[in-house]
């Protein structure tokens, strides 16, 4: 059934996961800003601790008490709306149809 090299593959994948997670956590700074970009062009760069609602052509981004989420989107899959709220450095909400990234940054 399950053979020797299967275990080795699993161990390698597990090490890769732990290593990459450790790298990302160690590079994490104090969250301070919210960056909203499209195609790597920054549309908005605002404070994470200032409550506001930002209307984009296809999405509405809400910043509320240090957490960010997308409250509305005009696409049919609504993946960005259903993404859990973000608050830590490096966390993102991605809207694929409109190529928008909302990111918490230092």
Partner 1 sequence: MKTKRLALYSMLVVASLAFSYFETFIPTSALLPGFKLGLANLIILLLLSHDDIKGAFAVNATRIALASLLFGTPLSFLFSLLGGTLSTAIMFFAKRIKDVSYFGIGVLGGVAHNIGQLIMAVITFKTFSVLTLTPWLTLLGALCGAATGFIALLLTKNKHINKLFIK
Among 46, 54, 67, 94, binds partner 1 (CB under 8 A): 94
Using the minimum distance from each CB to partner 1, give the nearer residue, 51 or 87: 87
| Assigned token pair, 92 | 């993102």
Look at residue 22 and give its three-state secondary structure.
Answer: helix
8 Å CB contact between 45 and 34: yes
Binding residues for partner 1, total number by CB under 8 A: 37
Using the minimum distance from each CB to partner 1, give the nearer residue, 10 or 32: 10
- Least separation in angstroms between residue 80's CB and partner 1 is 7
**How far out from the chain centre does Cα 67 lie?**
12
| Residues 50 to 89 in contact with partner 1, rule: CB under 8 A | 75, 77, 79-80, 82-84
Distance between CA atoms of residues 45 and 102, nearest Å: 10
């Amino acid at each position: 059934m399950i053979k020797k090299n299967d275990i080795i593959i699993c161990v390698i994948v597990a090490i890769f996961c732990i290593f990459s997670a450790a790298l990302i956590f160690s590079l994490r700074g104090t969250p301070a800003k919210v960056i909203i970009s499209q195609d790597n062009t920054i549309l908005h760069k605002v404070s994470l601790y200032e409550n506001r609602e930002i209307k984009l052509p296809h999405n509405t981004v809400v910043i509320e008490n240090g957490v960010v989420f997308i409250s509305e989107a005009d696409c049919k899959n609504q993946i960005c709306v259903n993404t859990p709220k973000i608050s830590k450095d490096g966390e993102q909400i991605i809207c694929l149809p409109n190529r928008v990234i909302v990111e918490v940054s230092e």
